[in-house]
Amino acid sequence: MSVLVGKQAPAFNTKAVVNGSEIVENFSLKQYEGEKYVVFFFYPADFTFVCPTELIAFQDKMQEFESRNVAVVGASTDSEFSHWKWLQTPQNQGGIQGVKYPIIVDQTLHISRAYDVLAGEEVYDEEGNVQFVGDAKAYRGLFLIDKSGVVRHQVVNDMPLGRSVEEVIRLIDALQFTEEYGEVCPANWKKGDKALKATQEGISSYLSEK
């Protein structure tokens, strides 16, 4: 797996469904640079089982993301028409109606490849032709991108393993705390906890106060 932390998030321009119903032709994360943090996450497919629980969980916490100046963007290898239909389907029928943040289209698989979350692989046959082996869907990758467009955190789950939205918010708090105060966040740190200075004296002081 590629480690993107510390690097510019791979750029792309693609179709997306925004505001729960509007299909746009040219969506890019570049629109947020200099303005917002971004939580960019991949999920395997529309109309599945774990996926709606995650997408709805992100929507349920949108007020907390917005209060932290964070844009949330989802992505899968489905078409814009599949996204649109799923967004119109009531939650009690397996849909994600009510989700308002953008969901982008990656039918070409270029974006999943760039973020190295694509399941399956391309192999060469005996005649030198490239064939894709496996299921062309994305693993549950998540990338926290700062306002300068740099990836500051990434995690990738296998398809059956849902993510914790609370943990994503905790990491946003930690990133914003370190940017504001210059201190570092120890294990299990959460907003309101004591941080520490990145020195031996700072670590000693933190441990002595635990």
Task: Report, as residue numbers or ranges, the catalytic residues.
Answer: 51
Please count the other Cβ atoms lying within 10 Å of the Cβ belonging to residue 15: 18
Alpha helices in the chain (DSSP H): 50-60, 62-67, 80-88, 110-114, 165-181, 200-209
Strand partners for 74: 41, 103
Q: Which amino acid is at 4?
A: L
At which residue do the structure tokens 């599949």 appear?
Answer: 82
Contact 203, 196 (CB under 8 A): yes
CB 151 within 8 A of CB 7: yes
- CB-count burial class (<10 Å; 0-12, 13-18, 19+) for 136: middle
The whole-angstrom separation of Cα 79 and Cα 1 is: 25
